[in-house]
Structure 1
C-alpha cells in the first residue's frame, strides 16, 4: 500500500486471460466544493465500457450456462411422481385449466405461468396432483411444467453473473460465484420441480440486476430510463409471485436512498435534477409494480370464473359472481315477524347459524348451536315475537325489537344461560343452545334484542328496519346482556368439527355481527326483491387479500419439517420433499457455499465496525476505489440479506428452510465481492500472490462442486446406499432418512429389473416407464461396480425395523374448515381442505 492508502497497480498475470481479469471499478472522482471535496456521481464512459462483456467472456459464460442447463435439467422426468408442493402448485395449475376458483396465500403470477405452460403442453386437468408420491399419468405434461422453473433457474445464474459484473467484480470472480450458484444444491432442487421458488428467485435476481445496471447509466439517458422501468417491471413480477417481493421493493428503495445521498451531495447536480431523480424513481419503482400486481389479480379473477372449493373462504357476494354458485338469489328484502330466515355470520367464513338434533355432551346438554358453511334446512329459523303469537299481517323487524328465534326443523328456540361455553375457556363466554319441547311456549332465556349496526349496514331503510343482505345487526341476550358470538374455534368430533357459537360480553365486536341471507314470509305482498351487489375487481382484490392474510396468519401448527430462522444461515436442517422406491429428495443447501457466504457477511460486519472506529479517531478509510466499491456494494447486499431474512423472526406461521433462499441469494452476491476484494486487494501485492488468490478461489469452487456431486442423490432422487448416506451426515441435524436406501446399488438394479419384468407380464408399458426403467438399470450397473464393497458393510448395519410404506404422507395441513360428517341427510363436505389452499410441506414418514 502507498502512504495514501492506494493499492499499487498490479500487472495482469501471465497465466490469466486479460479479458477475464479486467478491473471494472473506476477511479473515484472528487471535485472541490466550497468547504470540502465531494464525490462526482456521474458514471464515467470508461467504467461503463469496462462492464461490457468481451468475446472470451461470452464464451466462458456460455460454457457455464450449458453446464447449468445440464445440472438443472438432468433426469427432469424423474421421479415420475408428485414431489413436495407439486401437490399444491400442480393442483392449482389444474384449477386454472378448469377455471375452478381456489384460494392460496400467495399472489397468482407464478401459478398462472405454471398453468399456462401446462395448458400449452396439453394438460387437460384430469390428473389431480392429489398426494405426494402419486405416479403421473402418461398424458400429464409434468416434464414441461418442471422444465419452466428449471429454465428460470438457469437464467438466474446468468443474472447473478451480470449483476456482479455491473456492481464491480472482475469477470473471473463473477464466473466463480455464478458457478457455485449453478451447482448450489438447494437452488438446483427448487428449480427442478413445480414450485414457486424458482420463478420468485428469477424475478428477484432480475430486479437486482436491473437496479445495478441502472446505477451505471448516465442519468436521464435512454439506457437509464430503460433500466429503471425494467427494475420496476421485475419488482412487479416478484411481488406478484410471492409477498417476499415486498422485501425486495423495500431493498430497492433503500438502495435508491443510499445512492441519492451521494447525488444530493454532488454539487454538479442541480436541485431540479435532484427533484427529478427522486420523483421518477419513486413513481416508476412503486407505480409499475403496483399496476402489475393489480393487473395479475384481475387476470386471475377472469380465468377462475367457476365455483370451486376455494370459494368457501369468500363472502357470499364474491361467490355469487362465480358460475355454478349456489348462493340464493331474488330474496325478499323486508324481514319481519314470521319470516323464515337463514342468518349468516359476517366476519368469519363459518357460515350460517345452524342447529341439529344432537346435544352437547357437557354443560346444559341441550341441543347444539353451530355455524355450518353450506345451505341446509337446518339453517332455517322462524322469527317470533318474544311474548306473543305471530300476527296475521306483516310486521317489520326493527332496531331494538325483542324477538325469539325458533329452529324450523326441531322446534326448539335459540337459548342462552349461565353455563360454560362448550369449548372456549374464557369466563366472558357462555353456552348458546336450543331449548324447548312440544307445547312449550319458551322462556325469558330465549329472548334476544335486535341491534342494527348502522356503519356496517347499507344507507337508508336498512339502518332502521332489518332488510335481507343489507342490514348488519347484533343479537343481545335480554337476560344476560351478552351478544351472540362466534370465532374460528371449532367443536370436537361430537360437534362434527363445526364452528362454535356462544354468547359473549367481551371479545372482538365484529365477531358479534350477523346478517340475513334468505327470507321467506307469506305475509309479504309484492315485496321488494334484492340480490347481492355485483363486486368490482377492486372489491374482489381487497376481499381476497383479507382472506389471504387471515389464512397465512393461521398457519401456526407445529410441522414435522419446519425450522427456526436462527438455524438457516448455518444450514442445520433441510426439508424432506419425497420418499419412494428406496430413494429420497431432500432439500439441503451446498454447505461449502452456504457457510462461506455466511462467513462473508460476518467478515463484512467486523470490517464495517473496525472501519467506523478508525474513522471516528480520524483515520482515512475506504480511499482505495476497490475498498470503496466493496464497502458500498456489500453494505447494500447485506441490507438485502437482512430485509429478506429477519422479518421471518416476527412471523408466527410455520417456517421452512426454503424461505431463506431469497436472503441467501443476497449472501451469494456479497460472497462474490468478498472473493473479488480477496483477489484484487487483500493479497494482490504482486504477480505471484495474485495467482495464489485465484488459486484459492478455484479450490473453493472445486470443493463446492465435490459437495454437489456427493449429495446429488438427494437432489435428483437417484439411487444411493445406506452406508454412503450415513457417512455423509456432516451434522447430526441433517435428518434425511438413510434407512430408506438400499444396502447396495446392486439392489436397485435387481429391483428395477424385477419391476421391468413384472410390467412386461402385467401390462404394456408406456414410453416413460420403459425409459425410466432402462435408465435406472444403466445408472445402477455403472455405479454398482465402483461401490460394490459397500454392500457387506452396510448389511451389518441393517435396521431391525423393516422399511414401511414406500410413499410419503400427504402434506401436513391446518384444518381450517374440514367437517368429517354431519347428521343431516344432505350433509356435504365443509370448505376445501387447507392442504389444497396453503403452502405446506410433506410430513415425516413413519
Structure 2
C-alpha cells in the first residue's frame, strides 16, 4: 500500500482505478467481461512533432515570403519602359483618362493595370513609349509591385495545389520550389504586363478544380458547392485576362464530361440526382464563367466613356454615344444627294469604306477599294443619283435616296465611282472585284448600286437613309451581287487592309453586307441628334469580341521583316532561346527572359517519362498483371494524366497558330509540365526509404535553387556591360551577350 500511496501522475491514477475496479468485481463475474482500457500515456512536447503538424502553415508562409522577395527585390532598378510595358501601361493610361481603345486581349488584366496606376496616383498622361524614361511624377515602381504580387501569389497556390493532388511532402516542396525559383516566372512578374495575372488565375483555376475533385465523395455539400463556384469564377477571370485562359476552360470541361459520363453509367444513381449534378455543373462551369467574362466587358464599356483611339473598331451607334466623339456630331439626320458621308461596315470588326490612289497589281488594275479602321479623308464618299436619273446640281432642291433607289457613290478624294465587274476579287476569288473607276461624267451602269434597307433604329419609314440608325445593303445593279467587307486582309500591296468584294450569294442576314452612314456633312440640312439612340450591350459585346478575334488572327509574321524576339513553339520546352526585354546598351539595366534549366529540362523530360510509364502499365495490364490498386490508378488519372492534358491543351494550339509567337506564350503550359514532373518523382520514390527519399529531393532542391541563383542577374537586372555574364551563355542561341 505504501508503494501505491506514492504513485503519482496520470499513470498512477489509471492504475488505482484499474485495481479498484478489479477488487469491486464479484467472484462470480464472468471472466470474459471487457476490461477497462488504460488511459494512454501523453506524448511529451516535441518541437519536431509540432512543426510536422503545422507544416502547412509555416512552410506556406516561408515559401510566400520568398516569393514576394524574389518578385519584388530591386523591382524599380530600371527606370525605362521595358518590353510590353509600352502596350499595357498605355492601356492602363486609357482607363485613367477613360478613353476608348482597342486591343486583342480581354479587358480584366488591363483594368487591373489601370487600377495600379490609380492607386499610384498616376493621371494617365504618360505615353509609355518603348525605351523612354519614366517621369518623376509616375510611380512606376508601385505599378510594378502591384503586378508582381500576382506572380508572387502563384507560389502558395502551387503549394496548396500539390497538396490537393495528394502528393507527399517532398514532392509538394519540389513543385513549390520549381515555381518559386523559376527564373522566367520571376522575371515576367516584375514588369507591368499581363502574364503574372494570367498565371495567377491559371493557378487558381487548377487549385479550385483540385479541391472540387477531392470533394466528390461529398456532393452538394456547402464546401463542394463553394469550390465548384470558385472554379467557375477562376475560369471566368483567366479568360478575361487573355484568351489563353480558354485552354483552362477546356481542361475543366474535359474533366466534367468524363465525370458526368461516369455518373451516367452508375445505374444506382437516381435520375434526379444525375440531373442535379448536370445542373450544378452548367451553373458553375458555364453560366458563372460567362457572367464573369461579360461583366469584365460591361465594366470596360462603363469606364471608357470618352472617345479614343479604338473607336473605329466599334459600331457607329456605339461611337456616337462616346463623349467627345466626332461621329454623328452635328451630322444631319437624313442623307440627301450631294451629301458627303463615311460608310461603316456593320460586320463584327468592320471598318470604313475606303479608297486611295494605289491600284490593284492584277485583275482590273483599277483603283483599290478596301475597308479601313482609321479615320482619314480617303473614307469620304458623295451620294449621287444614277446616270439615268436627273443629274445632280448643287443648287437643286433636296432629293433623298431611300429603300429601292439606285445610286452612285463617288470617292471624295479621287472623284472616281464605286464600281464592280466580272473580274475575280484579288483574294476571295469566288467574289467579284470592287474598284474605283471613271468620274462624275465618265462611267457606265456598273457604277450603279441599289439601296436595300435592312432596318432602322429611328423609324419604320425606309424612304430615307438616316445617319447611324439605318442599316442597308448595296446591291450591284448589273451583277446582282452585294457589297461586302469580310475579315480577309489584303497582301502588303493593299497595306494589309480589309478586302472589299461583291459577293454573288444573297444572304440578307450576313452582317458583313450591312452598311450604315457614320459621319455626314451637308450644309443644306439641319444637324440631328442620332447619338440619342443607344447601342445594346450584347451587340457591342459580340461586336468587340469578333473584332478582337479578327485582329488576333491578323498577327502573322511579316516575311519582309525580321523579328529577333519571336521564337518557334519547338524551342520553348527545350529552352533553346531566351528573349531580350530591352536594349542591350551598357548604360541600360538589362533583363533576359530565360527559364531555369533544371525546371525546363526536368519538366519536359517528365512528359516523356510519364508517357512511357503509362505505356508500361497498359502493357502489363493487357498481359493480365494487376500491379495497381484502385487508389493508385486514381492517383495516376487525376494527378498525372490531367496535368499532361493541361500541358497539351496549352501547348498544341501554338503549334497550329499562324500568329507571331514568343517564349512567354509557353508559361501556362510550363506549370502543367512542372506538375507532371512532380507526379513522376512522387511516383518513382514512393517505395524508397525515407532518408534516401529526402536525400534525392534535397539534391533536386539544391540544384534548382543553385541554378536560379546562378542566373539571378537576368531576373534582377544586369548593370554595365553584358560581357560580365558571358559565363551564362551556355548556348549560342542564348543572346545574353553581344
Q: Normalised by the shorter chain, which TM-score bucket?
A: 0.7 to 0.9
1:605-632: per-residue Cα shift (whole Å, max 9, x none)? 1121222222223221421745642443
Task: Quote the Cα distance in structure 2 between the aligned partners of 1:273 and 1:425.
Answer: 52
Change (3 A) 1:197 1:71: same
* Residue 731 of structure 1: how far off its partner (Å): 3.4
Change (3 A) 1:269 1:324: same
Change (3 A) 1:477 1:200: same
Secondary structure in 1 matching 2:241: coil
Task: Quote the Cα distance in structure 1 between the aligned partners of 2:491 and 2:205.
Answer: 47
Aligned 8 A contact 1:644 1:662 in 2: yes
Which residue is 1:611 aligned to?
A: 617
Change (3 A) 1:123 1:481: same
Secondary structure in 2 matching 1:452: strand
Which 10-residue stretch deviates more, 530-539 or 139-148?
Answer: 530-539
Change (3 A) 1:530 1:110: closer
Task: Quote the Cα distance in structure 2 between the aligned partners of 1:377 and 1:170.
Answer: 67
* Residue 634 of structure 1: how far off its partner (Å): 0.6
Of the three residues 650, 654, 658, the one matched with 1:644 is 650
Task: Quote the Cα distance in structure 1 between the aligned partners of 2:518 and 2:118.
Answer: 38
Give the total of aligned pairs: 675
Which residue is 1:577 aligned to?
A: 581
Which residue is 1:659 aligned to?
A: 665
Secondary structure in 2 matching 1:317: helix
* Residue 308 of structure 1: how far off its partner (Å): 0.7
* Residue 331 of structure 1: how far off its partner (Å): 5.3
Change (3 A) 1:288 1:139: same
Aligned 8 A contact 1:678 1:693 in 2: no
Change (3 A) 1:318 1:560: farther
Task: Quote the Cα distance in structure 2 between the aligned partners of 1:567 and 1:94.
Answer: 35
Which residue is 1:328 aligned to?
A: 328
Which residue is 1:708 aligned to?
A: 708
Q: Residues 28-39 of structure 1: matches in 2 within 5 Å?
A: none
* Residue 277 of structure 1: how far off its partner (Å): 2.9
Stretches of structure 2 that go unaligned for 5 or more consecutive residues are 1-46
Aligned 8 A contact 2:348 2:547 in 1: no
Secondary structure in 2 matching 1:319: helix
Aligned 8 A contact 1:598 1:667 in 2: yes
* Residue 409 of structure 1: how far off its partner (Å): 6.7
Which residue is 2:151 aligned to?
A: 153
* Residue 126 of structure 1: how far off its partner (Å): 2.5
* Residue 149 of structure 1: how far off its partner (Å): 2.7
Secondary structure in 2 matching 1:188: helix
Aligned 8 A contact 2:729 2:736 in 1: no
Task: Quote the Cα distance in structure 2 between the aligned partners of 1:118 and 1:528.
Answer: 39
* Residue 399 of structure 1: how far off its partner (Å): 5.2
Which residue is 1:191 aligned to?
A: 189
Change (3 A) 1:306 1:417: same
Which residue is 1:557 aligned to?
A: 557
Task: Quote the Cα distance in structure 1 between the aligned partners of 2:705 and 2:161.
Answer: 22
Task: Quote the Cα distance in structure 1 between the aligned partners of 2:279 and 2:329.
Answer: 49
Task: Quote the Cα distance in structure 2 between the aligned partners of 1:275 and 1:497.
Answer: 51
* Residue 702 of structure 1: how far off its partner (Å): 1.1
Which residue is 1:825 aligned to?
A: none
Secondary structure in 2 matching 1:570: coil
Change (3 A) 1:484 1:219: closer
Change (3 A) 1:474 1:180: same
Q: Residues 360-375 of structure 1: matches in 2 within 5 Å?
A: 373-374=374-375
Task: Quote the Cα distance in structure 2 between the aligned partners of 1:74 and 1:527.
Answer: 59
* Residue 65 of structure 1: how far off its partner (Å): 2.3
* Residue 403 of structure 1: how far off its partner (Å): 3.7
Secondary structure in 1 matching 2:686: helix
Which residue is 2:728 aligned to?
A: 728
Secondary structure in 2 matching 1:561: coil
Which residue is 1:788 aligned to?
A: none
Pair 1:566-2:570 in alignment: yes
* Residue 574 of structure 1: how far off its partner (Å): 2.2
Aligned 8 A contact 1:429 1:504 in 2: yes
* Residue 388 of structure 1: how far off its partner (Å): 4.4
Task: Quote the Cα distance in structure 1 between the aligned partners of 2:365 and 2:144.
Answer: 55
Change (3 A) 1:511 1:213: closer
Which residue is 1:632 aligned to?
A: 638
Task: Quote the Cα distance in structure 2 between the aligned partners of 1:355 and 1:105.
Answer: 26
* Residue 60 of structure 1: how far off its partner (Å): 3.0
* Residue 521 of structure 1: how far off its partner (Å): 7.1
* Residue 200 of structure 1: how far off its partner (Å): 1.5
Which residue is 2:294 aligned to?
A: 294
Which residue is 1:114 aligned to?
A: 113
Task: Quote the Cα distance in structure 2 between the aligned partners of 1:631 and 1:378.
Answer: 58
* Residue 638 of structure 1: how far off its partner (Å): 1.4
* Residue 589 of structure 1: how far off its partner (Å): 1.1
Pair 1:623-2:629 in alignment: yes
Task: Quote the Cα distance in structure 1 between the aligned partners of 2:317 and 2:416.
Answer: 30
Of the three residues 595, 619, 631, the one matched with 1:589 is 595
* Residue 698 of structure 1: how far off its partner (Å): 1.2
Of the three residues 170, 173, 177, the one matched with 2:175 is 177
Change (3 A) 1:496 1:236: closer
* Residue 710 of structure 1: how far off its partner (Å): 1.6
Secondary structure in 2 matching 1:102: coil
Task: Quote the Cα distance in structure 1 between the aligned partners of 2:722 and 2:491.
Answer: 46
TM-score normalized by structure 2?
A: 0.81
Task: Quote the Cα distance in structure 2 between the aligned partners of 1:142 and 1:527.
Answer: 46
1:168-201: per-residue Cα shift (whole Å, max 9, x none)? 1122321222012101011111111111111111
Aligned 8 A contact 2:352 2:379 in 1: no
Which residue is 1:598 aligned to?
A: 604
Pair 1:678-2:684 in alignment: yes
Aligned 8 A contact 2:170 2:697 in 1: no
Aligned 8 A contact 2:371 2:500 in 1: yes
Aligned 8 A contact 1:452 1:463 in 2: no
Which residue is 2:516 aligned to?
A: 515
